[in-house]
Structure 1
């Protein structure tokens, strides 16, 4: 599903909400009266201050631009950059050195029991720093909402653990016609929703026609399925049903396409196509169903406290229940990043994802050998950057948009983030077919070219009006806002930052003629260039509300290329069409690309059976807990006693329970 995100440096929206008091865990962990890390907290405060406020210090600027102030009339000169960015790294490293010797959590508090066999029991808890609006699979359109949506709902097919291979889910098998235009799915016998009601082919008809009906659900995923026969007639209201969808018997679903689509099974694995129970949806209404969902996934909704916590319980009726081990998964919401990591170190959270870790936390983990066995790093498939609304001044002028792409110092920004991100110069990440490292049209940092474009736009002395930049709330959003604010001031674009919580951000970003400039990005739904370009830039993705084309960019030539590529049978020719389409975007510049992600995760030692999935973000549905847990210090002392005094000196304690 589309993952449009109010990014803050490869991050989900920042929302600095409060956090509940630490509690006794179901694992048997002792109550942690104080989860604070005074040293690291001081570091984060210092680092945050330098990154937000330190940029205004009168330090030398970057590279060959030292001492140079562009002639931009009354527009102030840009803030200094190079020394500030260097000072951020130096401050972090020096503070880390000072913190390490007195940190109260230099190692995990708990180890697993040492079992090699998965078993049931326990609750996994992790956190996000934003809230969410819905767990309706037809509407959930961001990474945070995607986590519980994936756990509560299920479709015909899914991805195999750890891979992008499409495998059976509620469908036990399927056939594809020789011409690639007809897919026949056969449901497993006896599959039911979490409330025990039977799932039949009619439930899929109801779910998909609900998804594709714009008069009922303004789903951002609907356009993915336009090759189904009768799509336009049904969407326009000229037909009461989707002609290309047949349900010949309760266990068979048949889909007819107008053309072969090489990505169709990927599209069927997206959360949008999950089945929902008609009886429940009609009784509750669409909005309430999104808050009290009933699905067919591995977990069911037990409790949702808005802005605080979602509690999911194992679904005993799940078709593959024998592979689900956890009793519960708890998602704490609106928890500030620094509090997430402090609670993780105190043993109150079991998993910390890429967006739980500040730069200071990241550096600290990498330098700590006790935690290092539980850290996982993964090349990301997220592209982050800035959306420029092509329907709103000054970004309705292509030269202004091009100027912005030239003004961003991507490598400097990456250095300021301790290389937790990689600079991006074009739309497709390096892991996606169609990526070209040597594309001569790729975006680049070139202040002279940026100023020439500003002159061509009619703004040789800068844009007179201030531009509003929308960001996810929180520390990292502020950091990135400041860095880019300074970059754009160099070319005469004055930026006013507008932080917003996730729910407000998403609702506003997809609303026409509302947001001039926004920090956003796209997380891969499936490993194909079509997934990056169609939802974000095809004109069909434009809606007055819930638009996934946030730049409201329209180009008939691009649309034609994308429509051809979608049905092209030759792989090389198909990739070539997507590369041509990318070149159009590089010329028209509706986005200024900035970075691709590097994902970092860390778990407690007793969390087992988990590895990051290339598609499903933060999916721990099949993890298990190695219970009962053991106290780290007691286990270390017992280990040393078993070796004897000389053995203990010769054999430093090795963490047990590492993957």
Structure 2
């Protein structure tokens, strides 16, 4: 049978406990819980190896959601003992590697799980994960052979990839479909972005193409919500998204309209604070956005936040504009990004706007079982976000 790393048997009791915890409205679970809560009526475990999930209505997405990395099954006996998994000794699972050593802010070391339930695996005796925040230091480590694997956000640019490839001929480089969305957020509960004209002005003025070229080395397609490489026909065709107001090129027409909208309400322009977490290339992106908004009379002042404090501020609504916030896809279903950001109750609807039309489309997409009809719903969803009035 399957065992936890501490030797305790894994059973349906762990799955039942974990899933009920995830859908508990008192437990913060923005990625998995926010999706499953409206779908799940009840959960039961009739025996040690079976879990039955009763749904509120038929839907195509629940298996993908349950299999995602965000809907983890956790050890019931540890959670009941410790309350959470924040202590290193609480970090147990059923996977191929067990925690051996943890040095906060430095390294996590894993050793082979000899009791792993798949015979013959894993192949490695252990893994060391180094916690390296600075991008130049990350690149230096992999070039020097200190590390053999790299993943992270933002993606490496072409110059950095060539630099590593030239130094390490033994490495395999693999491209993958985009797994996240970068957004700008406006707080609709206070001026100036409680005004739809000001939100439209920002949407028209931001040059996504310039940001993608300068901040992402052109590796990411601007204006696209669902990347076609990952979502196929559920994605709105890129050419349609790229011809929408705010995305189309050249920018002359959009900038002219944006200037008029700002001048209508603020003839002398307006000063705002642009908040951003000081991670990755976020400060660079927010700085580009500030330069672009200056052209239409919105003068931004940058304010940087440490990550935990920043997320707490976003949740409180303690901001006027968030310069950039990237969000990873929860799982590969078209509902995933909309669950997180584009419904009224979304955990990352930081702008706090009531999104009635998007709510209707979201609920229709969850319930639709016909694939072609479902594609049409999500195409319209993407059109509403790109062309409509949203704070994100």
**Range class of TM-score, shorter chain:** 0.7 to 0.9
- 2:138 aligns with 340
Aligned residue among 252, 256, 262 for 2:54? 256
* Residue 206 to residue 422, structure 1, CA distance change in 2 (3 Å): closer
Q: Distance in 2 between matches of 1:290 and 1:508?
A: 28
- 1:93 aligns with none
Q: Superposed, which structure 2 residues align to 1:240-639 within 5 Å?
A: 244-286=42-84, 288=86, 292-320=90-118, 322-353=120-151, 355=153, 357=156, 360-365=159-164, 368=166, 371=169, 374-417=172-215, 419-431=217-229, 432=231, 433-439=234-240, 441=244, 443-444=246-247, 446-456=251-261, 458-461=264-267, 463-473=269-279, 476-514=281-319, 516-541=321-346, 547-586=347-386, 587-591=388-392
2:25 is aligned with 1:222 = no
CA-based RMSD of the aligned residues comes to 2.7
Q: Distance in 1 between matches of 2:88 and 2:196?
A: 39
Alpha-carbon deviation of 1:462? 5.6
Alpha-carbon deviation of 1:327? 2.3
Higher helix proportion: 2
Q: Distance in 2 between matches of 1:550 and 1:313?
A: 40
Alpha-carbon deviation of 1:590? 2.1
Q: With a CA cutoff of 8 Å and minimum separation of 6, indicate the structure with the bigger relative contact order.
A: 1
Q: Distance in 1 between matches of 2:141 and 2:169?
A: 15
Q: Deviation per CA, 1:505-555: give whole Å up to 9, x if none.
A: 3333333344632311232233322112122111222xxxxx333333321
Alpha-carbon deviation of 1:477? 2.9
Work out whether residues 317 and 351 of structure 2, in 8 Å CA contact, stay in contact via their aligned partners in 1: no
Alpha-carbon deviation of 1:196? 1.0
Q: Secondary structure at the match of 1:588?
A: coil
Rg larger in 1 or in 2?
Answer: 1
Q: Distance in 2 between matches of 1:381 and 1:473?
A: 18
Q: Distance in 2 between matches of 1:372 and 1:442?
A: 46
Aligned residues: 381
Q: Secondary structure at the match of 2:304?
A: strand
- 1:631 aligns with none
* Residue 327 to residue 409, structure 1, CA distance change in 2 (3 Å): same
Work out whether residues 359 and 417 of structure 1, in 8 Å CA contact, stay in contact via their aligned partners in 2: no
Q: Distance in 1 between matches of 2:275 and 2:65?
A: 32
Q: Distance in 2 between matches of 1:258 and 1:404?
A: 39
Q: Distance in 1 between matches of 2:209 and 2:319?
A: 30
Alpha-carbon deviation of 1:267? 0.4
Q: Distance in 1 between matches of 2:301 and 2:324?
A: 13
Work out whether residues 402 and 588 of structure 1, in 8 Å CA contact, stay in contact via their aligned partners in 2: yes
Work out whether residues 280 and 289 of structure 1, in 8 Å CA contact, stay in contact via their aligned partners in 2: no
